[in-house]
């Protein structure tokens, strides 16, 4: 029999996937199996190993769901097979969840386990809604209560009446089905009808919706707004601070769905930057980065690195593929010898630093012409130098042409190529954009423009006219215009943060 593994009961926190703890992240990255709930953000699963076994065991009211007994059996059997298992739950595993029951079963079965607390949903979602649960002047106590007790049996009106004045702030989880009865009972128990109350649905997500009122009208307001579970009901004077303290849903990009057509390995950091602004990234890579069909030019260039005076990189992909070949030849950064290195843009420079090299030259403007101008300024009389440019198979020629005109010998070698969507992917992209599921399309390169427009076909410009098209810079904008696409937003600083700043300004108007 295999050695017994271990089960980790990990709280995922509410909504925002970045609220996962550092310990939880570390365990997810190493887990053999992950059993996750419906309320844990799907973005968290991107941290799992590619070969990890992922099982959705979420239980949602009104839907056919795995039984708690079956889930517990799975935890035990997987651990007994010697696997390390993460049981991922929304919020905290021990607060109105079944984590304690699962831990008891694991203990009885002799399976080692660890509990990793998570940010609880009432604490996290109320903070994102601008509602502090306690306040020196307004509340010195808070009670968390579920809208029903064991096996779905509702709490009695008498129980709610006793709670009404026993605490300053009341947070009710899973109570939307009985919100009218709950608020009426709290008033009957002695709370004034004018007591502030709020409902926070899908808290800490771009889908977050908050309705604020009083005990007298919150049930009607929530019903009119169509709010339902998952939601937290907050009752108490602290709710009156929402208009002053709300921050998450005041961000210009809040609730916007932003399509990111970048290659998959580049999209994660972009998605995180989008989430930080209250928007929802829609990751849809329209290109795949692959090795060139003929690897010999890059291989030969790396073998002859000592012959070059300059090596110029125009993208992080070029950096990565170049150093992959360097490593394949049993070398490291020292292979560059005395060659100087230049890059377009800070992201390319950052990618270079991951290989232990600081760029000698970073173009002031993040385009090929600017890098050529900066290199030429250092060439001196005659410009008799040899330059290597590892880049995409298909790219703009302005950089090498300018250097050649200045007298340099330039070798352009394909380090990678981009491959577009197949027929199924093209149809899916068209459905997504035509169906109104996207507010913004964020183009970060000419290649993403070309492959997106190719995928959409002859009416690409018409389809994209229905969304806000955002461009990272003038080169990408020119490519969009050449395809007949109207650009509504362009970054003044040609980075992902720059384009998001530009979108903030646009939607602030």
Residue 118 — left, alpha, or beta (φ > 0 → left; ψ -120 to 50 → alpha)? beta
C-alpha–C-alpha distance, residues 93 and 27, integer Å: 15
Q: What phi and psi, each to the nearest 5 degrees, are found at residue 385? A: -135, 165
Tell how strand 169-173 and strand 231-235 pair up: antiparallel
Asked, as a colleague might, if the bond just before 230 is cis with ω within 30 of 0, I would say yes
C-alpha–C-alpha distance, residues 231 and 127, integer Å: 14
Q: What phi and psi, each to the nearest 5 degrees, are found at residue 438? A: -135, 140
Q: Where in the sequence numbering do the catalytic residues fall?
A: 37, 59
Helical spans, DSSP H, in 227-367: 242-245, 264-275, 296-303, 316-328, 346-353
Per-residue CA distances from 309 to 305, 375, 403 (Å): 9, 11, 13
Both structure tokens of 491: 């970054």
How does DSSP assign 11-45, residue by residue?
A: E-BSS-GGGS-HHHHHHHHH-SEEEE-TTS-GGGG
**Contact assessment for residue 364 and residue 353, using Cβ atoms and an 8 Å cutoff:** no
Tell how strand 209-214 and strand 169-173 pair up: unpaired
Instruction: For CA atoms 179, 181, 185, 187, give the dihedral sign.
Output: positive
Instruction: For CA atoms 233, 234, 240, 241, give the dihedral sign.
Output: negative
**Contact assessment for residue 382 and residue 398, using Cβ atoms and an 8 Å cutoff:** no
**Contact assessment for residue 186 and residue 214, using Cβ atoms and an 8 Å cutoff:** no
């Amino acid at each position: 029999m295999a050695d017994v593994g271990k089960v980790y009961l990990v709280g995922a926190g509410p909504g925002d996937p970045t609220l996962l703890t550092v310990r939880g992240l570390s365990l997810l990255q190493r887990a053999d199996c992950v059993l996750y709930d419906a309320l844990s953000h799907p973005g968290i699963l991107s941290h799992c190993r590619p070969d990890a076994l992922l099982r959705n065991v979420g239980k949602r009211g009104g839907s056919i769901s795995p039984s708690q007994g079956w889930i517990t059996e799975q935890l035990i059997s997987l651990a007994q097979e010697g696997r390390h298992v993460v049981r991922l739950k929304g919020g905290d595993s021990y607060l109105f969840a079944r984590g304690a029951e699962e831990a008891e079963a694991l203990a009885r079965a002799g399976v080692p386990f660890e509990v990793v607390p998570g940010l609880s949903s009432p604490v996290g979602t109320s903070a994102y809604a601008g509602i502090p649960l306690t306040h020196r002047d307004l509340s010195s106590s808070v009670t968390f209560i579920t809208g029903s007790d064991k096996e779905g049996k509702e709490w009695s009106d008498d129980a709610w009446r006793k709670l009404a004045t026993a605490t300053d702030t009341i947070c009710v989880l899973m109570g939307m089905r009985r919100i009218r009865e709950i608020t009426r009972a709290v008033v009957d128990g002695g709370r004034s009808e004018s007591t502030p109350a709020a409902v926070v649905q899908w808290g800490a997500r771009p889908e977050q919706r908050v309705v604020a009122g009083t005990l007298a009208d919150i049930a009607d307001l929530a019903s009119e707004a169509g709010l339902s579970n998952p939601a937290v009901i907050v009752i108490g004077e602290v709710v009156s601070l929402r208009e002053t303290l709300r921050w998450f849903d005041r961000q210009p990009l809040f609730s916007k769905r932003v399509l990111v057509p970048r290659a998959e390995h580049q999209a994660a950091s972009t998605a995180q930057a989008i989430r930080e602004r209250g928007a929802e990234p829609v990751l849809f890579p329209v290109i795949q980065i692959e090795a060139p069909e003929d690897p010999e030019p890059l291989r030969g260039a790396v073998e002859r690195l000592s012959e070059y005076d300059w090596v110029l990189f125009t993208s992080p992909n070029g950096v990565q593929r170049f150093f992959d070949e360097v490593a394949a030849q049993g070398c490291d950064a020292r292979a560059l010898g005395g060659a100087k290195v230049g890059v377009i843009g800070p992201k390319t420079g950052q990618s270079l630093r991951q290989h232990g090299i600081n760029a000698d030259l970073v173009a002031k403007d993040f385009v090929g012409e600017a890098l050529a101008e900066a290199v030429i300024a250092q060439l001196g009389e005659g410009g008799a130098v040899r330059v290597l440019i590892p880049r995409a198979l298909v790219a703009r020629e302005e950089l090498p042409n300018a250097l050649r005109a200045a007298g340099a010998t330039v070798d352009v070698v394909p380090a990678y190529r981009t491959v577009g969507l197949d027929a199924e992917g093209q149809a899916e992209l068209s459905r997504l954009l035509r169906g109104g599921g996207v507010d913004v399309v964020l183009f970060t390169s000419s290649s993403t423009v070309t492959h997106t427009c190719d995928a959409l076909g002859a009416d690409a410009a018409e389809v994209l006219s229905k969304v806000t098209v955002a461009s990272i810079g003038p080169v990408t904008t020119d490519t969009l215009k050449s395809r007949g696409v109207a650009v509504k937003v362009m970054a003044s600083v040609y980075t992902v943060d720059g384009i998001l700043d530009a979108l903030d300004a646009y939607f602030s108007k």
